[in-house]
């Protein structure tokens, strides 16, 4: 997706905002072979799996792949991060990426066919429960769903994802067994959330399609959604990535329905659960203090019924031993019908519940906590229990994360030599920076693969000041998969004092770089840019850079111990063409190496080999070139290294 020209006026020259890939797609794109095996024709039995009415899916009780018991998928995916205030938690998204998480090979600026998601075979010939009764057009069968174009609502700096272009469209088709063809029955294009809200004061379009043609009333009826996308013209392919998202929710097919029966007795969560910390989604265990806890949470609960209902909201926190360490019960509160008030739950005990506790654990050990939120209808039966629960895993390991792991958009660094994009982190105690994880967006024709350096800065008055580390060798963006970080190890450990420090990505040449930008968390106050020896807080866009610093456990102690022991790493032969011998020496004597991990990193900063310590390894599968071999102490997290040359 390209950058709208008007957006540039919202930046202070250096930062450009570009639309980039979505969350987790590399994990949910299962092979077509798997899907065909389970959901079309069973070759052994020669039978076809069929679904009886009703067909319903609100995409709330799973993530990534659409439910294979209901859908056959080619490119669409289930997520909670891209929609803006959906009907309930979780949507099905169609966009411009294929099943491998890449832009479609035939992607172009004029238009191309993108994702397709088809229902499994559905019985429209008859009902089976309680009795087998034939179905006809007189049974008032409707297929309904909600649809939302991507891109968010309101001010551009608050938007999420990418709005489809005017010529892009979402299409619904029905399959006729009689004709063996797919027929288009509905289509939409050239709409935005702002358009929808201006008309109906809601953020999604409700669609309800009657099925009246007798040719569809077979035991092999199907429907499918497909989208047509296009890439915007842009002089820099570094901007061109995922775009043109459509979100679908609450798909419902059944008989005895009416055109306007969009209400249902369902109280549900709208947004996913997030961290109980003030700033971070995750932080190092050694850095945590009670003052890092939030005061309140922000919970959105919706009532999709046509009348007010009573509900109970609560959450509980369990430690890694599955023991409850804190619980909160908000009691029963009335919640008005969203369709009548256009409001979510407003009672503070449910919408802004207090945190009211602090995590307790050994700061010298990694751990995690599981937070589970539930909302239950107080009287009567809720029609859909799957959307009544949301969860979050609070990790305390060795890294800071502002982001939630999903890049809805992206930040671009202005193409000026030595431009810097920096993000600040606050340490409560001194620690040693060992590595940085970065998510670079996958772009058209891999145009994002441009050299950069990692820099570390101290802080003065809340801005980067003096450089305290600059990588000697340049690095190159590596995209291991959508929302999959690449770890870049520092050439030497950097001891950082308590307080604020900054990590920056610095361009080597006049190239754009496209860094993942999470729009559902906001650390924009920690983002700074430098393009002419002057640091500026330079974005109005709310979000968090997908840059995560990794720290050692016993930082300064570990360094002192290594220096005192005078450990020496020996690798031979060097250069080598295959078998490499490795030993660690302390004052001339070889000692036990079981406490060390071994890894090899190429000159672009990419790890190409990892194992526990071995006295001998085979590196014949690595390409000719210069590498760095590291041995890292598992306890102190400190490393010794040696340059390695592979020459065949």
Please indicate whether residue 91 or residue 238 has the higher confidence score (pLDDT): 91
Domain boundary among 219, 254, 289: 254
Regarding whether 309 and 190 lie in a shared domain, the answer is: no
Spatial neighbors of 459 by CB under 8 A, at least 6 apart, are 424, 465, 499, 500, 501, 502
pLDDT, position 631: 83
Q: Determine phi and psi for 93, rounding to 5 degrees.
A: -115, 130
Q: Is residue 381 domain-resident?
A: yes
Q: Where are the beta strands (DSSP E) in 429-546?
A: 431-438, 452-460, 463-470, 486-496, 499-507, 513-518, 527-530, 535-536, 544-545
Q: What is the CATH number of the domain that holds 626?
A: 2.60.40.1930
Spatial neighbors of 132 by CB under 8 A, at least 6 apart, are 126
Distance CA 242, CA 512 (A): 17
Regarding whether 547 and 564 lie in a shared domain, the answer is: no
Regarding whether 133 and 31 lie in a shared domain, the answer is: yes
What is the residue range of 505's domain?
A: 409-551
Its sign, for the CA torsion 466, 469, 475, 480, is negative
Distance CA 608, CA 206 (A): 50
Other C-beta atoms within 10 Å of 358: how many? 14
Regarding whether 195 and 53 lie in a shared domain, the answer is: yes
Q: What is the CATH number of the domain that holds 37?
A: 2.60.120.260
**521 is written with which tokens?**
């968390």
Residue where the block lists tokens 């199907």: 222
**645 is written with which tokens?**
């040359």
Residue range 140-197, pLDDT digits in tens:
999 999 999 998 887 777 778 888 999 999 999 999 998 899 999 999 999 999 999 9
Please indicate whether residue 478 or residue 376 has the higher confidence score (pLDDT): 376
Least confident of 110-119, 263-272, 534-543, 549-558: 549-558
Regarding whether 59 and 39 lie in a shared domain, the answer is: yes
Cis upstream peptide for 294 (omega within 30°): no
Q: What is the 3-state secondary structure (H, E, C) of 323-390?
A: CEEEEEEEEEEEECCHHHHCCCCCCHHHHCCECCCCCCCCCCCCEEEEEEEEEEECCCCCCCCHHHEE
Cis upstream peptide for 573 (omega within 30°): yes
Residue range 576-597, pLDDT digits in tens:
888 898 887 764 445 556 678 8
Confidence grade of residue 239 (pLDDT, cut at 50, 70, 90): low
For residue 418, give the nearest of 455, 459, 461 by alpha carbon: 455
Task: Check if the beta carbon of residue 86 is closer than 8 Å to that of residue 249.
Answer: yes
Least confident of 208-217, 264-273, 291-300, 457-466: 457-466
Q: What is the CATH number of the domain that holds 317?
A: 2.60.40
pLDDT, position 145: 97
Task: Check if the beta carbon of residue 461 is closer than 8 Å to that of residue 502.
Answer: no
**633 is written with which tokens?**
């102490």
pLDDT, position 32: 26
Residue range 516-525, pLDDT digits in tens:
899 999 999 9
Q: Is residue 92 domain-resident?
A: yes
Q: Is residue 594 domain-resident?
A: yes
For residue 550, give the nearest of 488, 626, 613, 643 by alpha carbon: 488
Please indicate whether residue 15 or residue 188 has the higher confidence score (pLDDT): 188
Its sign, for the CA torsion 344, 347, 351, 352, is positive
Task: Check if the beta carbon of residue 600 is closer than 8 Å to that of residue 628.
Answer: yes
The β-bridge partners of 626 are 645
Regarding whether 373 and 442 lie in a shared domain, the answer is: no
Other C-beta atoms within 10 Å of 588: how many? 7
Task: Check if the beta carbon of residue 513 is closer than 8 Å to that of residue 238.
Answer: yes
Please indicate whether residue 514 or residue 399 has the higher confidence score (pLDDT): 399
Regarding whether 326 and 388 lie in a shared domain, the answer is: yes
Q: Is residue 263 domain-resident?
A: no
Q: What is the CATH number of the domain that holds 496?
A: 2.60.120
Q: Is residue 373 domain-resident?
A: yes
| Number of separate domains in the chain | 4
What stretches of 184-261 show up as alpha helix (H) in DSSP? 193-200
Percent of the chain exceeding pLDDT 90 equals: 51
Confidence grade of residue 61 (pLDDT, cut at 50, 70, 90): confident
DSSP 411: E
Highest mean pLDDT: which range of 105-114, 348-357, 478-487: 348-357
Least confident of 75-84, 157-166, 409-418: 409-418
Q: Where are the beta strands (DSSP E) in 508-624?
A: 513-518, 527-530, 535-536, 544-545, 547-551, 567-572, 579-586, 589-590, 596-602, 607-612, 616-618
Q: Is residue 403 domain-resident?
A: no
Task: Check if the beta carbon of residue 616 is closer than 8 Å to that of residue 581.
Answer: yes
Angle at 13 between CA 7 and CA 15, to 5 degrees: 70
Phi-psi label, residue 27: left if phi above 0, alpha if psi -120 to 50, beta otherwise? alpha
Distance CA 194, CA 33 (A): 40
Confidence grade of residue 565 (pLDDT, cut at 50, 70, 90): very low
Domain boundary among 494, 520, 551: 551
Distance CA 320, CA 338 (A): 38
Confidence grade of residue 110 (pLDDT, cut at 50, 70, 90): confident
- How does the average pLDDT of the chain come out, rounded? 83
Confidence grade of residue 36 (pLDDT, cut at 50, 70, 90): very low
Regarding whether 503 and 567 lie in a shared domain, the answer is: no
Distance CA 646, CA 577 (A): 6
Confidence grade of residue 497 (pLDDT, cut at 50, 70, 90): very high
Residue where the block lists tokens 């008030």: 341
Query: 3-state SS of the chain: helix, strand, coil percent to 5?
Result: 10, 45, 45
Regarding whether 166 and 59 lie in a shared domain, the answer is: yes
**285 is written with which tokens?**
């265990």
Burial per residue of 89-116, b for 16 or more beta-carbon CB atoms within 10 angstroms, e otherwise: bbbbbbbbbbbebbbbeebeeebbebbb
Regarding whether 158 and 90 lie in a shared domain, the answer is: yes
Q: Is residue 404 domain-resident?
A: no
- Longest C-alpha distance within the chain, in Å? 91
Distance CA 475, CA 603 (A): 7
Regarding whether 436 and 363 lie in a shared domain, the answer is: no
Q: Where are the beta strands (DSSP E) in 587-638?
A: 589-590, 596-602, 607-612, 616-618, 625-633
Mean pLDDT of 503-522: 86
Domain boundary among 551, 580, 605: 551
Angle at 480 between CA 477 and CA 481, to 5 degrees: 120
Regarding whether 154 and 94 lie in a shared domain, the answer is: yes
Distance CA 83, CA 45 (A): 41
Q: What is the 3-state secondary structure (H, E, C) of 252-316?
A: EEECCCCCCCCCCCCEEECCCCCCCECCCCEEEHHHCCHHHECCECCCCEEECCCCCEEEEEEEE
Q: Is residue 5 domain-resident?
A: no
Other C-beta atoms within 10 Å of 185: how many? 16
With the CA atoms of 25, 27, 29 and 30 taken in that order, what torsion angle do they form, in degrees rounded to the nearest 10? -170
């Amino acid at each position: 997706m390209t950058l709208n020209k008007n957006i540039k006026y919202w930046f202070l020259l250096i930062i450009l905002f570009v639309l980039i890939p979505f969350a987790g797609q590399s994990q949910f794109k299962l092979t077509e072979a798997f899907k065909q095996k389970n959901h079309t024709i069973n070759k052994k039995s020669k039978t076809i799996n069929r679904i009886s009415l009703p067909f319903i899916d609100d995409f709330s009780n799973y993530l990534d792949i659409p439910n294979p018991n209901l859908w056959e998928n080619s490119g669409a995916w289930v997520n909670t991060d891209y929609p803006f205030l959906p009907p309930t938690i979780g949507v099905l998204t169609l966009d411009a990426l294929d099943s491998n998480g890449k832009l479609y090979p035939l992607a172009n600026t004029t238009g191309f066919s993108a994702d397709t998601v088809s229902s499994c075979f559905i019985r429209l010939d008859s009902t089976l429960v309680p009795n087998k009764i034939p179905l006809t057009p007189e049974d008032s069968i409707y297929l309904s769903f909600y649809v939302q174009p991507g891109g968010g609502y309101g001010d551009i700096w608050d938007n999420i994802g990418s709005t489809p272009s005017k010529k892009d469209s979402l299409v619904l088709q029905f399959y006729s067994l009689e004709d063996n063809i797919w027929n288009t029955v509905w289509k939409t294009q050239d709409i935005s959330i702002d358009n929808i809200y201006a008309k109906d004061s809601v953020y999604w379009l409700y669609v309800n399609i009657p099925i009246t043609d007798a040719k569809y009333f077979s035991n092999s009826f199907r429907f499918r959604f497909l989208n047509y996308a296009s890439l915007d013209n842009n002089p820099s392919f570094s901007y061109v990535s995922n775009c043109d998202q459509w979100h679908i929710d609450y798909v419902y097919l059944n008989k005895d329905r009416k055109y306007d029966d969009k209400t249902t007795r369902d109280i549900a969560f709208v947004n996913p659960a997030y961290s109980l910390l003030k700033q971070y989604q995750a932080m190092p265990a050694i850095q945590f203090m009670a003052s890092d806890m939030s005061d309140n949470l922000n919970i959105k609960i919706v009532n999709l019924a046509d009348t007010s209902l009573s509900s109970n909201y609560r959450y509980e926190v369990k430690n890694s031993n599955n023991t409850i360490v804190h619980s909160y019960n908000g009691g029963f509160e009335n919640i008005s019908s969203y369709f009548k008030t256009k409001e979510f739950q407003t009672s503070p005990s449910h919408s802004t519940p207090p945190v009211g506790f602090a995590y307790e654990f050994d700061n010298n050990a990694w751990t995690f906590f599981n937070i589970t939120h539930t909302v239950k209808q107080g009287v009567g039966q809720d029609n859909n229990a799957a959307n009544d629960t949301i969860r979050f895993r609070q990790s305390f390991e060795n890294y800071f994360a502002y982001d939630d792991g999903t890049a809805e958009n992206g930040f671009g660094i202005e193409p000026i030599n030595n431009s810097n994009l920096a993000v600040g982190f606050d340490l409560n105690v001194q620690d040693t920076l060992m590595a940085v994880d970065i998510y670079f967006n996958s772009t058209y024709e891999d145009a994002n693969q441009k050299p950069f350096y990692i820099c570390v800065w101290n802080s003065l008055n809340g801005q980067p000041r003096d450089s305290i580390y600059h990588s000697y060798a340049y690095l190159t963006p590596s995209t291991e998969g959508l929302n999959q970080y690449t770890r870049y190890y520092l050439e030497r450990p950097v001891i950082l004092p308590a307080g604020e420090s900054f990590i920056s990505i610095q361009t080597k040449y006049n190239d754009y770089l496209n860094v993942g930008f999470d729009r559902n968390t906001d650390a924009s106050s920690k983002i700074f840019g430098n393009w002419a020896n002057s640091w500026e807080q330079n974005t109005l866009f709310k979000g968090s850079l997908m840059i995560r610093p990794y720290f050692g456990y016993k930082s300064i102690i570990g360094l002192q111990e290594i220096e005192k022991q005078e450990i020496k790493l020996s690798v031979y032969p060097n250069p080598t063409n295959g078998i490499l011998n490795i030993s660690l020496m302390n004052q001339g004597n070889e000692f036990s190496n079981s406490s060390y991990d071994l890894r090899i990193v190429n000159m672009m900063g990419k790890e190409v080999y990892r194992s526990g310590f071995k006295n001998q390894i085979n590196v014949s599968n690595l390409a000719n070139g210069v590498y760095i071999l590291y041995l890292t102490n598992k306890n102190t997290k400190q490393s010794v290294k040696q340059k390695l040359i592979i020459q065949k």
